[in-house]
């Protein structure tokens, strides 16, 4: 019994040492940044993965497009901490659920797709953002409202999103900078890219 006590004590101390060194983490923490399905919410969803920020990737072979697109039925995806979402090698479509959001259409239903909060650094790669509707939100930005964050968008497409005229159906930039690299922002109602308040700018477009 004494031997077991000593052995168990060594195991506990060893675990605490590894945890202190950052070498041992719970399974839930290791898996938090991995998207494993195309659901709107729940374990394995993009919505669950972005909680707390960090590096978000997608399970090998996962593609969310067509009828399997990530359809937002429970609200906007909000980035409240520094976040990188990288869908390189996948086809990932995030759909706000709006119909008629193209230029000249009659927007109905749907939600803004992404919100970047003030002070947050966000990097998005290889996503398609579509059918977001900012009609009932302040500031515009049917696809993304970058409200005081630092946003870099690479190899993404924003189309079929909508906002009130001139407020950026695709992307709204508020008192900050957005950098677009190899990114298409076209075919959005209410304008594609809007600087909503003074102090905002398009950092670079390549």
Q: Which residues of the chain have pLDDT under 50?
A: 1-31, 198-206
pLDDT at 108: 94
The secondary structure of residue 189, as a DSSP letter, is: B
Digit-coded pLDDT (tens) for 90-109: 999 999 999 999 998 999 99
Q: How far is CA 181 from the centre of its chain?
A: 17
Tokens describing residue 46: 């993009």
The neighbour count for residue 38, using CB atoms within 10 Å, is 21
pLDDT at 15: 30
Entry pTM: 0.81
pLDDT at 174: 87
Q: Cα–Cα–Cα angle for 68, 70, 76, nearest 5°?
A: 160
The secondary structure of residue 67, as a DSSP letter, is: G
pLDDT at 63: 98
Q: Where are the domains of the chain?
A: 1-25, 32-205
pLDDT at 191: 86
pLDDT at 197: 52
pLDDT at 195: 63
């Amino acid at each position: 019994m004494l031997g077991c006590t000593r052995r168990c004590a060594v195991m506990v101390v060893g675990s605490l040492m590894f945890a202190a060194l950052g070498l041992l983490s719970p399974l839930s923490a290791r898996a938090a940044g991995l998207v494993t399905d195309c659901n709107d919410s729940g374990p394995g969803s993009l919505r669950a993965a972005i909680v707390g920020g960090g590096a978000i990737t997608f399970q090998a072979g996962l593609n969310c497009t067509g009828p399997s697109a990530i359809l937002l039925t429970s609200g906007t995806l909000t980035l409240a901490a520094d976040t990188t979402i990288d869908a390189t090698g996948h086809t990932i479509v995030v759909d706000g659920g709006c119909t008629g959001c193209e230029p000249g259409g009659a927007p109905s239903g749907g939600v803004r797709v992404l919100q970047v909060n003030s002070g947050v650094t966000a990097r998005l790669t290889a996503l398609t953002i579509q059918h977001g509707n900012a009609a009932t939100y302040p500031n515009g930005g049917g696809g993304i409202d970058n409200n005081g964050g630092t946003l870099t968008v690479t190899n993404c497409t924003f189309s079929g999103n909508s906002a009130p005229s001139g407020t950026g159906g695709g992307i709204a930039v508020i008192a900050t900078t957005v950098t677009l690299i190899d990114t298409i922002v076209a075919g959005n109602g209410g304008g594609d890219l809007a600087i909503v308040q003074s102090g905002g700018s398009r950092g670079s477009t390549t």
